[in-house]
Amino acid sequence: MAPFRILTLGFALAVGGHALTIGQQPPVPKEPHRFLRTVAGFEPSQLDALDRGEPLAKVLDTDRRQIAVVGAIRIKAEPGRLIDRYRDVASLRNSPIVLQLGVFSSPPRVDDFQGLTFEPYDLQTIRNCKPGDCGVRLPAPAMARFNRDVDWRASNWTDQAAALWRQLLVDYTTEYQTAGSLAEYRNREEPLRVAEEFGVLFDDSDYFTSLSPDLFAYLRRYPRAPLDGVEDIFYWSKDNVGVRPVTSITHRTIYAPRGNPASPRLAIVATKQIWATHYFDAGFGLTIAFDDGASGFYMLSLNRARTRSLTGVMRSMIRSTVQRRSRDAIESVLRSTKASLERPRR
């Protein structure tokens, strides 16, 4: 997923280099062990397994409006290789849940969605969408456009609806990039403001804020808080989360701050899922490389998503499926990343 994907979420951290003498073992860094022990609830034996290079992954306890998964692994490689991997969005196609994927141009264009196919259910449900009653997440103006601009009686109504939807998604992504505008969903009677959902996700993730206050300010206020050294990538994906495919738009930010002697090899990748057809109202993810004080780094991934769709008793089975597939996906990413980065360069 983006779902809540590649979803990559305070941090009072000090990750230092360690001076060693011959025969000494490198001391265990404070992070990510402290977070994994005190917040994620991993046992000491599991953290020992992490130090040996085994992956950890679990679903975190949250309120029913949120789904959160965390994972970590130790990798014997330079953190710069992790940054290179996350620059290559196409590598997400190796994920078992990613069905289709595309990267936005600058500025976004309709052609960027050339590889996207809309689900028949999604196109069909739009025919009857109205504010307060819609099977996909849309703002009221988008519903009005579908009602006005698509000839639902025409034989090619599916092509018309798909073309309009692509244009609306281009417009939405462009408005976010230029003004930080996020949707107000009207698929239910009570409107939902995506910006407010992100506010909750940021607050719930502030364990890590002091790791890089400037980056978190950038993410919260995008694009109104420019920051040197960040790389922004925008992509869409269609993911199999176990029930119904979810198409989403994700903003990925890559940051490797320099000039901090306490964190000489720190790297951070943040993701904001700014739109999704189903289940997820907003998603926020962090992937962080912590210097292990020896020859590599610890990769920590934390993904959070807000949802109104999976809170009821009747949706408990779907919620469990989404949680399980999200946990499995993060473990798969950890394993594949370790295998790829530890492979000698050709």
Q: What is the pLDDT of residue 116?
A: 97
Q: What is the pLDDT of residue 217?
A: 96
Pairwise CA distance, residues 283 & 204, whole Å: 12
Pairwise CA distance, residues 268 & 275, whole Å: 22
Give the distance, in angstroms, between the CA of residue 22 and the centroid of all CA atoms in the same chain.
42
Q: Which residues pair with 98 in a beta bridge?
A: 239
Q: How confident is the model at residue 7 (pLDDT cuts 50, 70, 90)?
A: very low
Q: What is the pLDDT of residue 77?
A: 94
Secondary structure of residue 207 in the 3-state scheme: helix
Pairwise CA distance, residues 231 & 88, whole Å: 12
The CATH code belonging to domain 33-342 is 3.30.530.20
In order, the DSSP letters of 221-262 are: HTTSS--TTEEEEEEEEEE--SSS-EEEEEEEEEE---S-TT
Residue 154 has pLDDT above 90, yes or no: yes
Q: In the structure encoding, which two tokens stand for residue 232, read together?
A: 């922004």
Q: What's the one-letter identity of residue 49? A: A
Tell me how many degrees the CA angle 110-165-241 measures, rounded to the nearest 5: 100
Q: Residues 87-125, buried b or exposed e (16+ Cβ, 10 A)? A: eebebbeebebbeebbbbeeebeeebbeebebbeebbeb
| pLDDT tens digits for range 231-282 | 999 999 999 876 789 999 999 999 987 654 444 467 999 999 999 999 899 9
| pLDDT tens digits for range 129-141 | 999 999 999 999 9
pTM across the whole model: 0.87
- Going from N- to C-terminal start, the domains of the chain cover 33-342
Pairwise CA distance, residues 39 & 320, whole Å: 21
Residue 315 has pLDDT above 70, yes or no: no
Place of tokens 């069905």: 99
Pairwise CA distance, residues 254 & 232, whole Å: 7
φ, ψ for residue 264 (rounded to 5)? Answer: -70, -20
Pairwise CA distance, residues 74 & 291, whole Å: 10
| pLDDT tens digits for range 38-70 | 999 999 999 999 999 999 999 999 888 999 999
Contacts of 314 (CB under 8 A, 6+ apart): none
| pLDDT tens digits for range 190-209 | 999 999 999 999 999 999 99
Q: What is the pLDDT of residue 150?
A: 98
Pairwise CA distance, residues 66 & 63, whole Å: 6
Please say whether the dihedral angle defined by the alpha carbons of residues 271, 275, 279 and 280, taken in this order, is positive or negative.
Answer: positive
Residue 29 has pLDDT above 90, yes or no: no
Strands (E), the chain: 56-59, 66-75, 98-103, 184-185, 192-193, 230-239, 246-255, 267-276, 282-291, 297-306
